Chain A
Amino acid sequence: MGKMDESKNKFSELSNLKKGQPFRVPNHYFDDFSARLQNKLDAESMKVPEPQNLIIRVLKPALGLAASFALILMLVYWPLKLFTPKEMVDNTNLGNEFIDYEYRTMVEGMDENSFYVLLSEPVQKVEISDDDLLNYLSASISDYDVYIGTDY
């Protein structure tokens, strides 16, 4: 019961509060407000929006597109190039470079006369008979080699 009375007192305290504004304004605030508002409206009406340059307006979509492509290229191509191991990039031409190097070494090692003779020599076809081939094989390969080279 006592608690209820207390609660009632608190509520009546809220109800009996002065409802007046606890706030105030600077002196003559409302008298001057119209004039200040008018100044603000005048200032806003003086602000003429700047007309956009025609060239910029025409080029804007194209420039935007170009910039997007450049950005995509930069975001995709550049990191790929940066993070791909260097060896993988270099290996693609390794075979050709090796053959070129062998050939160059051989040519550079020859004297001038041999080189011209080699150039002028017709390419001869070497013919090997079946008997020659069998003789070569039987001299170079043993029976055991022939046996382990057989599938069955």
Chain B
Amino acid sequence: MDTDDRDLITSLKDDSTREYAFQMLVKKYQERLYWHIRKIVMNHDDADDVLQNTFVKVWRSIEGFREESTLYTWLYRIATNESLTLINSNKKRNFISTNETSEFLMGNLTSDPYFDGDEIQMKLQEAILQLPEKQRIVFNMKYFDEMKYEDMSEILDTSVGALKASFHHAAKKIEEYFKNKD
């Protein structure tokens, strides 16, 4: 854990500096967490809700943070779980089955006014949405965020070997998708 984060945690656990430290934490991580969430839920409004819920959860549970993982992986873990919770509750509300998840998320993407991608990027997102949930998250974290497998392992509670295999399968499937679409 870097020194900044360690200082931040110390300040967050101290009542007199807690609010200021929390503002610092939000400033430092809001963008990274937002893009991570956005790639899972696919539209801005949902990403905004999830980001707020993530920080509310952090505010409520920071005193119980045992520092067994780094602050950064802990935040990503909360954000990932909150994103998946939102997707599942939206699916339940709209009576969407697991098989229809990719269509549902594709609908989220196409109806989002804040998508600026060109045709190729749209096709890539389509291909990513065909992947199973876990592979999709692994692919996004590796391909777009270039995150280390060790950090991903802490966030997703999965072994490094399994993550590498997952990324490999995901890349193959996307490649196949591009081949079949042309």
Contacts and interface: CB of A to CB of B under 8 A. Distances in A.
Interface string A69-86: 000000000000000000
B182 A10 contact: yes
Nearest to A21: B35
A14 interface: yes
Interface in A13-56: 13-14, 17-19, 21-26, 29-30, 33-34, 36-37, 40-41, 44
A11 interface: yes
B3 interface: no
A25 B179 CA distance: 32
A36 B52 contact: yes
Contacts of B120: 17
A19 B38 contact: no
A26 B114 contact: yes
B55 interface: yes
Interface residues of A, number: 23
A14 to B, nearest CB: 6
Contact size range, B: 35 or more
Chain B, interface SS category: helix
B26 A14 contact: no
A7 interface: yes
B121 interface: yes
A7 B8 CA distance: 49
Nearest to A40: B52
A30 B174 contact: no
A33 B30 contact: yes
Contacts of A11: 175
Contacts of B125: 22
A135 to B, nearest CB: 96
Contacts of A36: 52
B78 to A, nearest CB: 14
A25 B34 contact: yes
Contact of B44 (A19, A22, A26, A41): A26
Contacts of A21: 35, 38, 144
B116 A23 contact: yes
Contacts of B175: 7, 10-11, 14
